[in-house]
Structure 1
Amino acid sequence: MENLIPLLLLLVLYLVPELLKRRKNPKDYKYPDIPDKVPQPSHRPPIDIISKPASAPITDVSVEVPKSWVTSPKPAITMPAPVNVPHITAADSPWQGKLSPQMVENGLIFSEIIQPPRAYRPIWRRPK
């Protein structure tokens, strides 16, 4: 008797809705009719492309420019004699210019992801 109540509850909650669902006849979906070609309107007149003549520059207007606007060309700067400096530098690191704070932050995040879960890495080491 004690096992009968959960069995009846299971029957009512799971099997009865499934049986009722199967009893209904699903309606077959009917696709709408799609025409092969869409008719184009025939009452439109054809479009004529009219080319515009090229615009000619305006030559009959003259404008006087104030003398304060006109600047004379600056004289060329003479450079001193070239100096020979020997090229002595330390070897560059392969990380030079590639390491940014965001890259360090991403590395820290990925190192935590790759490690075992924190539950398996206790903070205090137990003596063995």
Structure 2
Amino acid sequence: MKHLFLLIITVGIFASCTKNDTQTTETAVEQTEAALVQKPQQMQSAAGEVITVTYFSEGDQVAVKLQKEGQAEQILHAKTVNASGNPIFSNENFMWEITKDGQAGQMSDKNGNPVEYQRVEEQNQNK
């Protein structure tokens, strides 16, 4: 009788632990997948150039998609960080540095010519 009682308790504990682990794993996967791509942001330079900036993750790396009006989309990967701790993204053609806590950014071309961009909403409020 003592062994039967011990067997029932052991089976009950094993069954309840297995069931909860499955539910927790599924929830964690859903939350991770939802955070892979941020909403695209429109940014504009002082010269009026508009660029669309989309931050996303590629595996365990952070990356950014940049698309100027009328040009092909560029994908840049985080290579290092600036003095503020924000990532600096680059590929063979461009470099993108986050400024003003993500409210602006600076894009440099192959020759190192920088162009400062601000979120469209922020720039409209400054006028």
TM-score (structure 2 length as normaliser): 0.26
Q: Which has the higher strand share?
A: 2
Q: Which has the higher contact order (CA 8 A, sep 6+)?
A: 2
Instruction: Name which one, 1 or 2, has greater alpha-carbon Rg.
Output: 1
